[in-house]
Structure 1
Amino acid sequence: MPIVNRVADMVEEVIGWRHDIHANPELLYDTERTAAKVADLLKDFGLDEVATGLGKNGVVGVIKGPNGGSGKTIALRADMDALPIEEMTGKPYASKNPGKMHACGHDGHTAMLLGAAKYLAETRNFDGTVVVIFQPAEEGGAGAKAMIDDGLMTRWPIEEVYGMHNYPSLPIGEFAMRKGPIMAATDEFRITITGKGGHAARPNETIDPIVCGANMVSALQTIASRNTYPLESVVVSVTVFQSGSAFNIIPQEAILRGTVRALKPEVREMAERRLKTIAVSVGEAFGAAVDVHYKRGYPVTMNHDAQTEFAAQVATSISGPDKVNTNVNPMMGGEDFSYMLLERPGAFIFAGNGNSAALHHPAYDFNDDLIPYGCSYWIKLVETALPAG
């Protein structure tokens, strides 16, 4: 089945919500305005329940079928937060908040789920219960985990959970997903190297943390090239190297910072272990003291097999079999929907955003042409998973 007819009729309204949210971006957990707008709209739609304040500013709406909600309960999730980026789109609805913009399309995700919620509340052409989740702090704040910690999965008896993200360069009307790992675990590290500073003309009297750090950067790359099975995926990127302040002084200290990305928990464990061992060992070789601070970030986003097959079938019913890639390459970016997939079976799907700028780019903008496909996907997922009668 193609685009839902009622969705085509309400696209302009959904675009209006999207542009309003885009013009008023909010970061991490500080999504008060966005959350209030979402909650007010859900109440206007006549949902059976609208709850606020989960994970500080998360919003949850409940829509029950005509049978009073008996039967299966599934959840659909959208994220609401923006990024600390100065917008460069030049659009009439561009950000009004300096240094903040919706550079990842969460404004579109929120608007599409609102459109689906309105339709589902109007028609209720399903048997069971639908929980719509609007989450803060996806961009590094683990808002999904915060909502789970506040009882998201237990307050409502959620049995399956589904997520969606726009995908620049994938044509409008196309979808992509895969079973198993679809996005990476995202960890951070900070390595402090303490040597012995001194005059640059007498390096023999010093323990040079810059030379030590340079060797450490190279050695850390062997985690991917020599410690990981060639068909597995891991990324170790040193993104910060801070040391020194004058041309004639060997500094006392150097700091390395960066990220580790992996698609399997066991590879993630190995990479952390090897990073710590290599850093300390290189420091010892140069006579420097090394302190490693390793911070676990989002887990691997792991799609469940049965729910992925089901979601792909729904996407195919909208766009056709030639427009749904069920074996897309995993992305090494992270996604905190991973926490929800650890709690309940479900699937995360990519929806084409067309020829747009890349995510997290100041010229990025969510493509409004995606809206009818995204709304229709949510609606058909519900009506197929919870068939009426």
Structure 2
Amino acid sequence: MHTVENFRDLQREATNWRRYLHANPELDFQEHNTARFVTEKLASFGINHIETGIAETGIVALIQGERGDGPTIGLRADMDALPIAEASNKPWSSKNPGIMHACGHDGHTAMLLGAAKYLASTRNFKGCVALIFQPAEEPEFPTGGFRMVQEGIMDRFAISQVFGMHNVPGIEVGKFAICDGPIDGSQDDFDIVVKGRGGHASSPHRTIDPVVIAAQIILGLQTLVSRKTDPRESLVISVTKLKAAQAYNVIPDHVEIAGTVRTLASGLRDFAEREILACAQGIARGFGADVEFRYVRSVPVTFNHTEETNLAITAARRLVGSSSVNDKMRPGMGAEDFAYMLEARPGAYILLGNGPTAALHNNEYDFTDEALPYGIGYWVSLVETALAV
């Protein structure tokens, strides 16, 4: 049984990897340098079976255990950055203007590389480990996780179970959090175009003003959660974009509204799609206007399976002790495209403390390097638990 001290020797090297990746971030499906860096490191560890170019820039590498008569489990790390201008002022800040690792995917990649180096040198397990380095976790549908699944990685590499991990600011470094069942919400995105009749702002009576109609629709959408859904079920409908005229004296022909829907209950996605359209259409037609509507189901609910969740809890406890593992965390409403892998195979997704840092997707965020040996140790503990010799 390992403690985190077993992985301190890897921390310095993993820190260098992490800071290099942080300084050289790449956006979704453009992670060519990142993929090259990862591939070179994996090869240097003596890993021979490495497949690249999956979902454009994704990688799957296989490590055989000392006994080959066992299943294959998948460990996934995401590699992409975000279109955010960094303001962390760290020596390893982004060299690519307008792009930064604001979600810690640099840390996730470094931790899986660290685990790969350790597992390739020890191979103290049966069966096989599939290391999944995924591109494009952040964009709208289709994401990298979806595309890797669609390109058949689960069948091609005979993966029977799959596991993911993500850092979380606000949880102490060295602590883990997880729950059985839904752990992250689904993400759907919608666009509404309110189609009225434009004109001069001094003569609103000669127009069908889509700005006023859009305002009514935005307010109306708020009642779908507060008055049409069971308060014991989680649903979020947030309007996040509004685009109208560019001049003070113009009432435009149309106004664009966009937003996102999050829920932990899959059935509420049908409700949201149906009711958002009905609300927007009803209000618009009442004013003599109409709407165009688009609804995209981007990411499903991230759902932890019971057996695999228990494996993850056991592995984390073996590393840091029971008191440092919260196995009954409250689910969040953020979305995670690892959900597609959990739809394809049973598995579990765990959260790792990043300490008192800036929030994810904030321009001052940085992954905490002290968390690296905990993440590396968790992966190793998980493999040696799930694939015990």
Q: Could you state the TM-score of these two structures normalised by the residue count of structure 1? A: 0.97
Structure 1 counterpart of 2:344, one-letter code: E
Amino acid at match of 2:62: V
Task: Could you tell me which runs of 5 or more consecutive residues in structure 2 were left unpaired when the two chains were aligned.
Answer: none
Residue range with higher mean Cα deviation, 159-168 or 181-190: 181-190
Deviation at 1:277, TM superposition (A): 0.9
2:55 touches 2:151 (CA, 8 Å); kept in 1? yes
Alignment of 1:260-339 (within 5 A): 260-339=261-340
**Are residue 118 (structure 1) and residue 117 (structure 2) matched?**
yes
Q: 2:39 — aligned with what?
A: 39
2:12 counterpart residue number? 12
Q: Distance in 2 between matches of 1:208 and 1:125?
A: 69
Separation in structure 2 between the aligned mates of residue 200 and residue 94 of structure 1, nearest angstrom: 47
Residues 173 and 351, structure 1, Cα contact 8 Å, conserved in 2? yes
Contact 2:2 2:381 in 1 (8 A): no
Task: Write the distance in 1 (CA, Å) between the matches of 2:90 and 2:293.
Answer: 44
1:227-264 per-residue CA deviation (whole Å, 9 max, x = no partner) reads 21101111111112221233343322111111111111
> Which one-letter code corresponds to 1:139 in the other structure?
E
Letter aligned with residue 33 of structure 2: R
Query: In the alignment, does 2:117 pair up with 1:97?
Result: no
| Residues 1-389 of structure 1 mapped to structure 2, 5 A cutoff | 1=1, 3-67=3-67, 69-140=68-139, 142-388=143-389
Please tell me the residue identity of whatever aligns with 1:29.
Answer: F
CA RMSD after TM alignment: 1.3
Q: CA deviation at 1:380?
A: 0.5
Q: Which amino acid aligns with 2:157?
A: W
How many aligned residue pairs are there? Answer: 387
Aligned mates of 2:306, 2:228 — CA distance in 1: 29
Distance 1:242 1:96 in 2: 32
1:361, distance to aligned residue in structure 2 (A):
0.7
- After superposition, what is the alpha-carbon deviation per residue over 1:77-101, rounded to whole angstroms, capped at 9, x for unaligned? 0001111111111111111111111
Q: What is the percent sequence identity of the aligned residues?
A: 50
State how far apart, in whole Å, the 2-side matches of 1:95 and 1:216 are: 40
Q: Is the 8 A contact 1:3 1:372 kept in 2?
A: no
CA contact (8 A) 1:188 1:258 kept: yes
Runs of 4+ in 1 over 3 A off after TM superposition: 199-202, 245-249
Report deviation, 1:204: 2.7
| Post-superposition offset of 1:2 | 5.4
DSSP 3-state at the match of 1:297: strand
Paired letter, 1:257: A
Look up the equivalent residue of 2:355 and give its one-letter code: G
Report the secondary structure of 2:388's partner residue. coil
Q: Can you list the C-alpha shifts for 1:35-75, whole angstroms capped at 9, x where unaligned?
A: 011111111111241111111111111011122x2211101
* Residues 273, 50 of structure 1: alpha-carbon distance in 2 compared, 3 angstrom cutoff: same
Q: Matched residues in 2 for 1:16 and 1:128: separation?
A: 31
- How far has the Cα of 1:202 moved from its partner? 3.4
Q: Secondary structure at the match of 1:128?
A: strand
Tell me by how many angstroms 1:3 deviates: 2.6
Inter-partner Cα distance in structure 1 for 2:201 and 2:30: 48
Where 1:71 maps in the other structure, the secondary structure is strand
Tell me by how many angstroms 1:206 deviates. 2.0
User: Displacement, 1:179?
Assistant: 1.1
Inter-CA distance 128–280: structure 2 relative to 1 (3 Å threshold): same
Distance 1:20 1:198 in 2: 54
Give secondary structure in 1 for the equivalent of 2:70: coil
Rounded to whole Å, the distance in 2 between the matches of 1:4 and 1:353 is 15
Instruction: Give, in whole Å, the separation in 2 of the partners of 1:6 and 1:36.
Output: 28
Q: Is the 8 A contact 2:3 2:318 kept in 1?
A: no
Question: Per-residue CA shift, 1:199-234, capped at 9, x if unaligned?
Answer: 334333321111111110011111111121101111
Tell me the secondary structure at the aligned position of residue 298 of structure 2. coil
**Distance apart, 1:5 and its partner CA:** 4.3
Measured in 1, the distance between the counterparts of 2:172 and 2:279 equals 43
Classify the secondary structure of the residue corresponding to 1:162.
strand
